[in-house]
Amino acid sequence: MISSFGRNVRMALYRHGTELLPERREITGSIIRHFDRSDYASRIRRGKRFARLSKRRLTFWMFVLAVVSLIYLSVFDVKLPLHGKRNSNSATTRDRSQEGSGFEGFEFTKPKHRKQHFPCEVKFLDSVDNVIEPLEPVNFEQFSLDYVDREENFDGIDAFEPRFGGHQTLEEREKTFYARNQTMHCGFVKGPEGSPSTGYDLDWEDKEYMNTCHIVVSSCIFGSSDFLRRPTSRKISEYSKKNVCFVMFLDEQTILKLSSEGHVRDDRGYIGLWKIVIVRNLPYVDMRRTGKVPKFLSHRLFPSARFSIWLDSKMRLHTDPMLILEYFLFRNGSEYAISNHYDRHCVWEEVLQNKRLNKYNHSAIDEQFNFYQSDGLTKFDPSNSNTLLPSYVPEGSFIVRAHTPMSNLFSCLWFNEVDRFTSRDQLSFAYTFLKLRRKNPDKPFFLNMFKDYGCVVSSAGPANKRWGFSFEPRVMGSKTKIFIVLESVIGGELFEKVVIYP
């Protein structure tokens, strides 16, 4: 009778669920424990069996975790800090790697707290109707630049291989730094008659369209390395939509991926405001180096253009291009505008950071850096009032330029450094600019390197990059004041960088 009562209680709990008041739950539990002690021993035996199985499983998974950790440490060559050894070994390794490289007395210290970049005010004009383009750039240097179109194998070298950047000798390179009438290497170099194309092949229709552009906004995505970010159409004036070319360079792999994601070109070849231009036969295996072609050589891709704006693919245009040109070029009489890096200002720091993050082959970085030091590159000294730049490290994801002779010369020189050495253009910027100024002391180059990166573009800092986030600013404010507000989005490779929008 008693066991029957216990079974009835359990059946009632099953039928009505376990949602009893605490008091009833306690009373019922005591009744079951009192009237159903016969099940107690079996529950104890099951509990012991479960405990033994749990211990075995726990031991097994701890062993698996230990094996995986050892494999990770061995594959990635991670060294554990050991007492009494860490300081001496790390110091010895650092001393050996920096010996003879110009790093003596210079130590890269990781900041304890990440720098914060707050929104700030950028005073653009109220409307493009108020923009006045300078008619005659009377202050800019005037000379003629022609470009090497084809290289012949005059020496009869059997292993001669045509290159997009050509085969510029060091002697030829040295001469190109003089601002004068000259013919120089600047990409798009063909090989001897009958040799294959050196790359960056465009359709004839696209070339015809690009020849008609006078003001250009351009970007690129190669190797499916990023998402397509369209300019915010409502922020672009009707004037700019009719008179500015918005060109996005893509390779065939990227356009296939974008099409699968729903970004399909219309009948005129546009996706939103972007005119899609397909690049075939990429000139470099390194996609980053290939991206320097539209970044630096817009004056060659758009031969009729007077002005151009370069945006990294991590950036979304939120501001009218004419307002950008007025603010960065027209207002202060500049012919080239680029921001300094938001954290680093010395090339020494940039070299160490590239090595620390394995951005490029260390030996190649050392070769380039040693060459620059031997040719006069010194450390950035912010206390020196005669320093020609506010920073030696640029944030190159946003470039505004007039296609003047000095601007075109500087762009070609910078591209040639990227072609000759590493594709890390931040390593070669200061060297190229300073050498150009040193070779032409009486010929000014009006470069506007704005100091506060956060006032123009917002970039993912190192911590955010590690997590694969980029930031896109939203523009808000009154007609006379525009503020940047950061909006977090999932990014691609990162990029490193992100967005401009005043």
Residue 430's nearest CA partner among 311, 324, 341 is 341
Least confident piece of the model among 33-37, 41-45, 104-108, 441-445? 33-37
419, 487: one domain: no
Residues 269-289 pLDDT 10s: 999 999 999 999 999 999 999
Residues 276 and 405 in one domain: yes
Regarding whether 488 and 452 lie in a shared domain, the answer is: no
Answer whether 325's CB lies under 8 Å from 307's CB.
yes
Assigned domain for 328 exists: yes
Contacts of 105 (CB under 8 A, 6+ apart): none
pLDDT classification of 118: cutoffs 50, 70, 90: low
Structure tokens at 254: 């990227």
pLDDT of 481 reads 35
Q: Is pLDDT at 434 greater than 80 in this prediction?
A: yes
| pLDDT-above-70 percentage for the chain | 68
**pLDDT tens digits for 127-141?**
999 998 887 666 899
211 and 324 co-located in one domain: yes
Are residues 435 and 465 in contact, defined by beta-carbon separation less than 8 angstroms? no
Q: pLDDT tens across 371-387, in order?
A: 999 999 999 998 888 88
Tokens 């990014």 sit at which residue? 491
Top mean pLDDT of 148-157, 397-406, 464-473 is at 397-406
- pLDDT-based confidence at residue 60 (cuts at 50, 70, 90): confident
User: Which CA distances in Å does 280 have to 199, 202, 251, 296?
Assistant: 7, 7, 6, 19
In this structure, the number of other CB atoms found within 10 A of the CB of residue 282 comes to 21
> Can you tell me the distance from the alpha carbon of 452 to that of 331, in angstroms, rounded to the nearest whole number?
17
In a domain, 33, yes or no: no
Q: Strands 482-490 and 447-450, how do they pair? A: unpaired
In the predicted structure, residue 266 carries a pLDDT above the cut 60? yes
**Per-chain mean pLDDT for the chain:** 78
- Is 50 exceeded by the pLDDT of residue 21? no
Quick one: which of 36, 29, 37 has its CA closest to 7? 36
Judge if 231 and 365 occupy the same domain: yes
Neighbours of 305 (CB within 10 A): 21
Per-residue model confidence (pLDDT) at position 4: 52
Q: Are the CB atoms for 492 and 225 separated by under 8 Å?
A: yes
The angle subtended at Cα 226 by Cα 220 and Cα 230, nearest 5°, is 65
Residue 414 pLDDT exceeds 80: yes
Amino acid type, 413: L
Return the pLDDT at 74. 64
DSSP string for residues in 178-218 = S-SSEEE--S--B-STTPPP-S-B--HHHHHHHHT-SEEEE
Question: How many domains does the chain contain in total?
Answer: 2
Phi, psi of 8 (to 5 degrees): -65, -40
239 and 329: one domain?
A: yes
CB neighbour burial string for 387-424, b if at least 16 within 10 angstroms, e if fewer: eebebbbbbbbbbbbbbbbbbbbbbbbbbbbbbebbbb
pLDDT category at 44 given cuts 50, 70, 90 is: low
Query: Is position 5 within any domain?
Result: no
Report pLDDT for 73: 65
Q: What is the distance between the alpha carbons of residues 6 and 11, in angstroms, rounded to a whole number? A: 9
Report how far residue 141's alpha carbon sits from residue 443's, in angstroms, rounded to the nearest whole number.
7
Give the per-residue pLDDT at 75. 56
Same domain, 201 and 270: yes
pLDDT band for position 65 (cuts 50, 70, 90) = confident
| pLDDT score for 140 | 93
- Do residues 397 and 309 make contact, with C-beta atoms less than 8 angstroms apart? no
Give the helix/strand (H/E) hosting 45: helix 40-75
Angle, helices 425-439/347-356, rounded to nearest 10 degrees: 160
As a whole number, mean pLDDT of residues 79-87 equals 43
| Any domain includes 282 | yes
What domain range includes position 488? 466-500
Q: What share of the chain is helix, strand, coil (3-state, %, to 5)?
A: 40, 15, 45
| CA-based end-to-end distance of the chain | 84
Does any domain span residue 374? yes
Are 400 and 494 found together in one domain?
no
Q: Is the pLDDT higher at 471 or at 162?
A: 162
Q: Which long-range contacts (CB under 8 A, 24 or more apart) does 375-379 make?
A: 375/431, 375/435, 376/434, 376/435, 376/438, 377/347, 377/430, 377/431, 377/434, 379/106, 379/346, 379/347, 379/348
Name the residue with higher pLDDT: 312 or 111: 312
- pLDDT value at residue 341: 87
Least trusted range by pLDDT, from 29-43, 323-337, 400-414, 455-469: 455-469
* 65: Cβ contacts below 8 Å, ≥ 6 apart: none
Both 399 and 305 in one domain: the answer is: yes
Q: 131 lies in a domain?
A: no
pLDDT on residue 103 = 58
Beta-carbon-side half-sphere exposure of residue 115 (alpha carbons within 13 Å): 14
47 pLDDT band (50/70/90 cuts)?
A: low
Instruction: Say if 97 falls within a structural domain.
Output: no
The pLDDT of residue 86 is 39
- The confidence score (pLDDT) of residue 499 equals 37
Least confident of 52-61, 217-226, 314-323, 487-496: 487-496
CA distance to 52, 92, 100, 380, 427, per residue, from 107 (Å): 55, 14, 14, 14, 18
Is beta strand 182-184 parallel, antiparallel or unpaired with respect to 145-147?
parallel
Q: Are residues 349 and 483 in the same domain?
A: no
Query: What secondary structure, in 3-state letters, does 246-295 show?
Result: EEEEEEHHHHHHHHHCCCCCCCCCEECCEEEEEEECCCCCCHHHHCHHHH
Whether the pLDDT of residue 168 is over 80: the answer is: yes
Q: Please give the backbone phi and psi of residue 335, each rounded to the nearest 5 degrees, phi first.
A: -120, -5
* pLDDT tens readout for residues 290-349: 999 999 999 999 999 999 999 999 999 999 999 999 999 999 999 999 998 888 989 999
Q: State whether 445 and 479 are in the same domain.
A: no
Kindly tell me if the per-residue pLDDT of 156 is higher than 70: no
pLDDT for the residue 378: 95
Beta bridge partners of 250: 221, 278
Give me the pLDDT at residue 107, please: 52
Shared domain for 222 and 361, answered yes or no, is yes
> Which of 16-25, 61-70, 181-190 has the highest mean predicted lDDT (pLDDT)?
181-190
Alpha helical stretches, state H, 421-501: 425-439, 462-466
How many angstroms separate the CA atoms of 168 and 420, rounded?
9
- The confidence band for 61, taking pLDDT boundaries of 50, 70 and 90, is confident
User: Quick one: average pLDDT of 206-224?
Assistant: 97
Residues 6+ apart with CB under 8 A from 225: 254, 287, 313, 492, 493
Domain-located, residue 342: yes
pLDDT digits (tens, 9 = 90+) for 456-488: 443 333 323 322 223 333 333 333 333 333 333
